[in-house]
Amino acid sequence: MQEAYLLLGSNQGDRLQWLQQAICMLALLCGNLLQKSSVYETAPWGLEAQPHFLNLALLLETDKSPEALLESLQDIEEMLGRRRAELWGPRTLDIDILTYGNEVMHTEKLTIPHLFLHKRRFALAPLAEIAPNFVHPQLHKTIATLLAECSDPLSVCLYDGFLAR
């Protein structure tokens, strides 16, 4: 068994509903969900002319290898209506592996820890809520430190879906 931190994101349609469905599918197909952050509303990164995202971070306990986990995550993205169009473009659902145990790996399909984890406030802020003291296995700094040092200017706000809907 390994513990992997995941980041879920959606910026199309009923964003909260996609995240909720993804959480159900993850629990059914991938392992045990041990922790879940709040939902955050975040400004789009990379390709900025698109709707704001909802993001949340999860801790998943899984017996899948990183490659098998990625395949399952992509299956879930597809089942929940994701169409792969442009890189960093709008999507109903995106699931990224932020970390997998303390592994450091870089293959054609998979970079772990996620290549942009330390550069993206939208990933660091939810992760810092559930894992402030987790040490980034490559940068050897805690998530709280990486968040404090992060220069990403894009906004990340706690999302109260009950008020917003």
Backbone φ and ψ of 76, nearest 5°:
-65, -45
Residue 88 contact partner, candidates Mg ion, ligand ADP, none, CB within 5 to 8 A by sort of partner: ligand ADP
Please, are residues 107 and 14 in contact by the beta-carbon 8 Å criterion? no
Residue type, 42: T
CB atoms within 10 A of CB 3: 18
Listed in sequence order, the residues at least 6 apart from 35 whose beta carbon sits closer than 8 Å to its beta carbon are 58, 59, 130, 131
**Helix (H) or strand (E) run with residue 72 in it:** helix 66-79
Site for Mg ion (CB under 5 A): which residue of 3, 96, 129, 152?
A: 96
Nearer CB in complex with Mg ion: 97/131: 97
Nearer CB in complex with ligand ADP: 49/87: 87
Given the residues 15, 96, 121, 152, select the one marked as catalytic: 96
**3-state class of 153 per DSSP?**
coil
How far apart are alpha carbons 3 and 30 in whole angstroms? Answer: 11
Site for ligand ADP (CB under 6 A): which residue of 88, 101, 148, 158?
A: 88
Site for Mg ion (CB under 5 A): which residue of 5, 10, 22, 94?
A: 94
Residue 114 contact partner, candidates Mg ion, ligand ADP, none, CB within 5 to 8 A by sort of partner: ligand ADP
**Binding pattern to ligand ADP, positions 91-110, x when CB under 6 A?**
---x-xx-----------xx
Active site residue 63: no
Minimum CB separation of residue 9 from ligand ADP in Å reads 8
Please, are residues 127 and 156 in contact by the beta-carbon 8 Å criterion? no
Nearer CB in complex with ligand ADP: 47/164: 47
Which residues are known to be catalytic?
A: 82, 91, 94, 96
